[in-house]
Amino acid sequence: MLREALVVDGTAKTCRGVIAGLERGMTDLEPGDVVLAIVEDIPTRLEVYAWAQRKSHRVVEERRRGAGYVMYIAKGPGNHVPVLTPTWGEPERANHEMTEVPRSPGARA
């Protein structure tokens, strides 16, 4: 069971969206800390995956919530949590792999 250090609720009717909330929220966290993001639509889910990949964070768990998703994102770089890796641009292949990412020096379990 993952324990989140921060919750970013994209279903709240605020002008600032999930990515902005994640960017601001991640700043004060340590590598390996987990943020829970609640997203309510597909474009934002795609965006969170792309953003996490670009920033070396990792989506480590994901669940459906109504029409939306609850996403657990571990701050990068590196820890021992299995990562959900999208296969960008290759839709005919298996759509994800579980990958064990080696712990980086100083990262918390």
Partner 1 sequence: MMLMVSVQNLDEANEAVAGGADIVDVKNLREMVIGSNFPPVIREVRRAFPPPLHVSVTLGVVPNQAGTVALAVYGAGALGATSVKVGFIQSDYPTALRILRESRRALDGFDTKLIAATFADSHLYDGIDPRRVVDLARESDSDGVLVDTLVKDGRNLFDFLDEPTLHGLVMAGKELGMSTALSGTLQVSNLSQLVRINPDIVGVRGAVCTRGDREGGAVDSSAVAHLKDELRQRLVGQIDVYAGTAPRLPTIPA
Neighbours of 64 (CB within 10 A): 8
Residue from 1, 3, 93, 105 binding partner 1 (CB under 8 A): 93
Single out the segment in contact with partner 1 by CB under 8 A; choices: 13-21, 28-36, 73-81, 101-109.
13-21
**Range 44-73, binding partner 1 (CB under 8 A):** 44-47, 49-51, 62-64, 67, 69
Single out the segment in contact with partner 1 by CB under 8 A; choices: 29-37, 38-46, 72-80, 100-108.
38-46
> Rule CB under 8 A: is residue 7 a binding residue for partner 1?
no
Smallest separation (angstroms) from partner 1 to the CB of 22: 9
